[in-house]
Every structure is written in C-alpha cells, then in structure tokens.
Amino acid sequence: MRLTELDYDLPEELIAQEPIADRDAARLLVLDRRSGAVTHSRFYKLGRLLREGDLLVLNNTRVFPARLKTRKESGGAVELLLVRRADTPPGAWIALARSHRTLRDGTRLLLADGRALRVVGQHRPGRPLVMGDAGVAMEDLIAAAGVPALPHYIRRPPGPADLTEYQTVYAEPAGAIAAPTAGLHFTQALLGELAAAGIRNTVLTLHIGPGTFTPVRAAEVEGHSMEAEWYTIPPAALAAIDSTRRLGGRVIAVGTSSTRALESYAITGDPEGFTGLFIAPGFRFKLADAMITNFHMPRSTVLALVMALAGRDAILAAYREAIRHRYRFLSYGDAMLII
C-alpha cells in the first residue's frame, strides 16, 4: 500500500478543540463494512445498534500528566514528554525531549518550583533517561508539575478540565500519554443501560505511547515500524471473549488500542507484553468482529488500522460523508461504529 493511499483532505475547522458537554451526545456514524452503507446516529443510542450477547472490549488505561516544562541551568527551555518507566536504572523514566541541543548525561533540568531532574543516560538517540534529582521521586515531580500531553492538533494549552475530560470514566492503571479516545464517549449510565440490554463489557489495558501517533513516513506503508506499547489482557477478559465467541456474540473492540491488544494476543498467545503490531490493509483479524473508533488523521497508523478492518474505499467514502455532515474529527471529536 502506498503512503499516498492514506491521504484525505481534512478541513482544519473540523478538528475538535474542546470536548462536548455531554460525552454520550457525540454524533455516531455507522458503517456497515459488508455493504458500505452509512447511517447517522448519536452515541447514546449505541444499544439500539448492537445485539444482546455482544461484548465491548474497553481499554482502561489512565492518562497521566506526561508533559514537563523545564529549563537547563544555562537557561535553555526543554520540554519533556515522559513515555514510561525505564527498566534501569531504578527510578528513571524514558522521555522524549524537545530541546535545541541533545541532552548530555548529567544535565540538570529545573522545574518552575526549583526542584530538578537529571539526565542519567540514553535509552536511544533522542530518548534521554531522566530521574528526580537529589533523591526526589519522579512520581512526585509528575504530580506536582506534569500537565496532560494533548495532541499537537489541539491548538490550545491544556486546562484544568482536560484532567478529567481527556480520560475515560472507567480509567484505572496510569501509564498512557494519550487517551483511548473511542472510550471518551461512554458514561457510567450508558454502560449500565447496555449491560441491562445484555451487551456486556470487559477491560484490558494498553498504555498508549508515542508509537500510536508517529506518522507513517515510509513510501510503502508496510515498511513502517511501530514503536512497542505495553498491554495486558486479564483472565476475566479472556474468559468473556471466549464465552462471547462460543455463544455467537460479537467482540466489539472499543478503539484501535483495544484492537491491537486483542490481535496481538491472537497472534502470539501472550496475554501480556509489549506489542509493536502495525495493522494495515491486508491484515486478517482474528478476534475483533467490529470496532468503535473516532475519526483519524491522514497518514496515521490508526487510519491504516480502520482501513484494514473496513476497506480503504469504504473508509474514505465514510469520511467524505462525515466531512459533508460536519462531524467533529480526532481526539475530542465524534465517533464511528464499524460493524
């Protein structure tokens, strides 16, 4: 598949900059991937579009405030995006650094409150290892000075509301730099209504990292290498998936991250580990029968994934319809159900 086949024209004014007031009031475009038919609905009507016996698979990762603004002792600004804890040395974190120059080992980075971090090594070029200076735990620095790392296409600074709005209502273990945005539309009330209608849910965890957002640049899409992200699928989720499939229900992945975790398990048999699975057209799905997702950026890994499920032509036609009807796109935007 050529990279140009992941292109489409996205009007900038359709990129949602703020969450809507009521999560489940988002618009919902429904794509029947067999016929290509498109219909329009609202997210709170999801129960009318699913069937008794279906299973929603939710990613319960919690977004942590991963962005830290610091300065070198010489005065130069350095912005850090914390990715995850490093295996070694103890207490260190892997970070992405935005700086005019490469950060050398031993560099002290000062926070606004006077506390500091120190560069203690290099995970790989452009990925320094940092830890709190003078014995201060990184977790304390993150809690005190971290802010949510909103996507670059949200052209405003994060505000206090983002701490809760850019988070699913069922988020539990912290570890993601970005929200599993398909799940932002659920409320506890809607989950309860669905359960009462026989539409169950289960949870897995995939901590979304930079790999999800790194644009595809290879001329041939299949040449893209995706950075690994950590996932775990608990025994209860595996049992629910097995039961659903045996009884003829559909496994409906909520988001591309849930899909990647499910399909990684289907390929490897490992319910936990790091996955660099890149799903593009030609991929054969083994566990995900349907998907709830948002609308995605051109030339992105997540757009390639939904094209793999529904077909490139059907997705582009659905996106043209969404643009014509002025849907809101990307992280804080509207939703899509691919069945």
Q: Quote the CA–CA distance of 319 and 254 in Å, as a whole number.
A: 19
303 — pLDDT class (breaks 50, 70, 90): very high
Q: Is the pLDDT of residue 156 over 90?
A: yes
In terms of pLDDT, which residue wins out, 141 or 100? 141
72 with 37: CB under 8 angstroms?
A: no
Taken in order of first residue, the domains within the chain and their CATH numbers are: 3-63+161-338 (3.40.1780.10), 67-145 (2.40.10.240)
How far apart, in whole angstroms, are the C-alpha atoms of residue 109 and residue 160?
25
pTM of the model: 0.94
Is it the case that residue 102 has pLDDT exceeding 90? Answer: no
Backbone angles phi, psi at 332, to 5 degrees: -95, 15
**What is the pairing mode between strands 229-232 and 55-59?**
unpaired
pLDDT at 160: 86
Say if residue 183's pLDDT is above 90. Answer: yes
- pLDDT, mean over the chain: 95
> Is pLDDT at 48 greater than 90 in this prediction?
yes
Residue 74 in this model has a pLDDT that exceeds 90: no
pLDDT over 90 at 124, yes or no = no
What integer is the mean pLDDT of 33-61? 97
Q: For residue 291, name the pLDDT band (cuts at 50, 70, 90).
A: very high
Q: Is the pLDDT of residue 166 over 90?
A: yes
* Residue 309: pLDDT over 90: yes
pLDDT value at 214 more than 90: no
Looking at residues 241-265, what average pLDDT do you find? 98
Q: Are 289 and 295 in contact (CB under 8 A)?
A: no
pLDDT of residue 306 exceeding 90, the answer is yes
Q: Which string of DSSP letters, residue by residue, matches 15-57? A: B--S--SSGGGSEEEEE-TTT--EEEEEGGGHHHHS-TT-EEE
